[in-house]
Chains A and B, each alone.
Chain A
């Protein structure tokens, strides 16, 4: 079975440019999570969707970050304009969440983003 698919795997771009990260969750999963990972702050949840609806975006650092999930099989995380401090590994994860239980989160391979 295909896992969570992220693209691109690596992105190097100059400060001020727009960056778009893409994610295809596992088919049948109803929740999608965007994380950022850095050495200093570890894994930070940026936003998560349930049934394609953004539920909690309290982790989005600022207005330069936005995320969409137009359908159950696709999500994007956009940074505009990008800044050097946005450099990190961005992970997408998906899960099937029932009302009263946690299920494991399945992570993609991540996008390693470097803003020069």
Chain B
């Protein structure tokens, strides 16, 4: 079945270092969404990418959608302790675009 895979599963960085998580879909996606879940919290929507090759920035976060619309990445520049959490990507199900297929997430730990 359709799958969304994320790597790495875990990442541990020193505060100030950069961080990147990658998302790969087994199928072409019409769009991709990114969420962040703080420890003990709930997923919170960050952004949606729709266009092939799209790049969007939110302060220190840069999101990219691949040309083939099968992969995406989230890059954080100069991580801060407030960036700690799990970052999920999710794409619509090919047969029913109202359902999202979720990656397992990348958990980011930041050493102060």
Contacts and interface: CB of A to CB of B under 8 A. Distances in A.
Interface size class of B (residues with CB under 8 A): 20 to 34
Chain A residues touching B, majority SS: strand
Contacts, number: 47
Contacts of B48: 102, 104
Contact of A102 (B44, B92, B102, B105): B92
Interface residues of A, number: 20
Contacts of B41: 109
B62 interface: no
Interface string A63-78: 0000000000000000
Interface in B1-41: 30-31, 33, 41
A97 B33 CA distance: 14
A31 B42 contact: no
Given A55-B96, A102-B31, 14 more contacts: A42-B104, A42-B105, A43-B88, A43-B102, A48-B99, A50-B98, A55-B98, A56-B96, A56-B99, A100-B97, A102-B92, A105-B43, A107-B43, A110-B42
Interface of B: 30-31, 33, 41-45, 48, 88, 92, 96-100, 102-105
